[in-house]
Chain A
Amino acid sequence: MAGREKWTITTPASERRVALVVVLVFVVAGSLWILLSDHLLYAVVQDRTLVARLETAKGWAFVASSALLLYAVTRRSAAQLTKAHRTIAAVVESIGDGVLILGSDRTIAYANPASIQMLGVANLERLRGMGAREFSRRFRVSYLDGRLVPPDQFVSQRVFDEAGPIRYSAVLNPPGERETVIACTAAGVRSEIGEPAELVVSVMHDITSAHHLERLRDELLTAAAHALKTPVTVIKSASQVLSARAPSNLRSSTAIIERQCARMGRLVENLLTLSRIRSGTLQLYPVDGVDLGPVVEDVAGEVSRLVPADVHVQLDAHPRVRADHERLVLVLRNAIFAATRSSRPGGPVTVRLGRCGADAEIRVSYQLPSPSVESGDAPHSDTDLDDLGVSRYVTAMVVEAHGGTLTEQAYDDDATVEIRLPAMSEAA
């Protein structure tokens, strides 16, 4: 494509090669000029005085032509540099994202028009020379959860000392302007890898609208999940009332309604927790000394009542943990339900509670169904089909929020989900 070579990025190696070629050309051309002109001069002119005068003239001519050549080369290079500078300036000024360039003194050296507008200042001079502390005071930079970002934690400051680029999302609050949510990326310009940056380029991308939409979506999800709980309660309760009075041939129908209500309840609970995780508002209310034994027994019992599965509980120990009871129940319910849905029909599901070092360990084991001969597909979890993997993701995130781990293993026909949570000491 025409003009593509203009955008080829030069590297230090190619710069050295160009300089070497210019010097070599000069040395070869100069040496040939001296050798050939001297040889010609001595062959044609015999008068020593005249030879001396012509040698002097030849020397001056060499200096003059070298000077002209140097002038031409330097001027061409300067013109290219100016052009490159103008091109870069035009590109930076036309970028819709805010661009700040910080000098080695870690203050703002340049701000493009988009950043001037984003920060609500009159012109570049209002920003030039501004350090992180003053920037923090003027624009009250905060994380998305509302905590102020310490000035030394701005990505544009950290990247002076750390390898970049570094990214984060933050909120700017320019005085008298609307708050702006930005995705900020900063990268350092270094002469050598590992050296402190000489310049830092910080790009601020306005994501206010996207963030607002995302928040609305999460709020809608939360509100919808809350609102769904009441109709599920009404249907479930009505079914239980019917079940108590219904003839035996109708009880399987009311049992189906109850199972589906329980399924909807789980979906709602998982969606609600997912929306909390996504919006960064998942709050835990942990209490000390939660005895896992009764919790495991209760949840396993609940699952047994709802699904036709053979769920066994084995309590090898009674570890106590610091946990949010409501979320812990959700984790166990998800794990045990997933096992009942993924296991071989009629196969047992074993929930074993024990200790592993300093951790409480809950192992949910089940037998995998035989692979389908017709499809030959890899086995998948029915739970994923049930809720697109939401419960699996929520379970892992909630366990992680408790400082624990969740792992899944499968050997031959046996699969195990292992949940580990930091256990409290026996003395506690």
Chain B
Amino acid sequence: MSDTPADVLVVDDDPDLREIVQMMLAGSGYQVRCAGNGKEAVEAVAKRMPAVVLLDMLMPVMDGWQCARELRTRYGRAVPIVVVTAAEHARARADQVGGVDGVLSKPFDMDDLLRVVARFAQRSSSGHPAE
């Protein structure tokens, strides 16, 4: 197991949400990077592969669905994507873009967020590929 804290990429156009999620995750020992839209997220993943991407859907420049499609095209299932959305039935829609690894509906609980991130952080540190 690696001692390096797991890297989580938070992608949301709302700066307050990015900040509070960053606080929650950093408080639990994660290394957090943030992106304000899908394009920035694709660039951030290209620099370093995160343990998990927490991806909002409705964003300017490049929305979450486009971003998920782009990441799937470039890296396949190697990059775990958890959709964080206010949209209804995100899971059903996610299947149309090649599937995502998890869905977190807004408004979510801190416990739920930490549980989801912990799942992927463990996989990352143990070297298991995302499902």
Which A residues form the contact surface with B (CB < 8 A)? 226-227, 229-230, 232-234, 236-238, 240-241, 244, 261, 265, 272, 283, 285, 324, 326
Q: Give the contact-size bracket for chain B.
A: 20 to 34
Partner of A230, one of B14, B23, B27, B88: B14
State whether A229 touches B86 (Cβ < 8 A).
Answer: yes
State the Cβ distance, B80 to closest chain A Cβ, in Å: 21
Partner of A237, one of B20, B58, B92, B105: B20
With A237-B24, A240-B110, A265-B107: A230-B17 Cβ-Cβ less than 8 Å: yes
Which residues of chain A are near B109, meaning CB under 8 Å? 236, 240
- Can you list 27 A-B pairs, Cβ within 8 angstroms, ordered by A? A226-B58, A226-B86, A229-B106, A230-B14, A230-B86, A230-B106, A232-B107, A233-B17, A233-B108, A234-B16, A234-B20, A236-B107, A237-B17, A237-B20, A237-B108, A237-B113, A238-B20, A240-B110, A241-B20, A241-B23, A241-B24, A241-B110, A261-B107, A272-B88, A324-B89, A326-B88, A326-B105
Which residues of chain B are near A326, meaning CB under 8 Å? 88-89, 105
State A261–B108 Cα separation when bound (angstroms): 11
Q: Which A-B residue pairs are the 4 nearest by beta carbons?
A: A229-B86, A233-B107, A240-B110, A229-B106
Choose among B86, B91, B92 the residue with the greatest number of A CB atoms under 10 Å from its CB.
B86
User: How would residues 67 to 96 of chain B score, 1 for a CB under 8 Å from any chain A CB and 0 otherwise?
Assistant: 000000000000000000011110110000
State the Cβ distance, B58 to closest chain A Cβ, in Å: 8
State whether A234 touches B14 (Cβ < 8 A).
Answer: yes
Which B residues form the contact surface with A (CB < 8 A)? 14, 16-17, 20-21, 23-24, 27, 58, 86-89, 91-92, 105-110, 113
The total number of A-B Cβ pairs within 8 Å is 54
Choose among A229, A233, A234, A240 the residue with the greatest number of B CB atoms under 10 Å from its CB.
A233
State A233–B88 Cα separation when bound (angstroms): 15
State the Cβ distance, B78 to closest chain A Cβ, in Å: 28
Which residues of chain A are near B89, meaning CB under 8 Å? 283, 285, 324, 326
Which residues of chain A are near B21, meaning CB under 8 Å? 237
State the Cβ distance, A131 to closest chain B Cβ, in Å: 43
State whether B20 touches A232 (Cβ < 8 A).
Answer: no
State A265–B14 Cα separation when bound (angstroms): 18
State A326–B86 Cα separation when bound (angstroms): 12
State A226–B56 Cα separation when bound (angstroms): 13
Which residues of chain B are near A232, meaning CB under 8 Å? 106-107
Which residues of chain A are near B110, meaning CB under 8 Å? 237, 240-241, 244
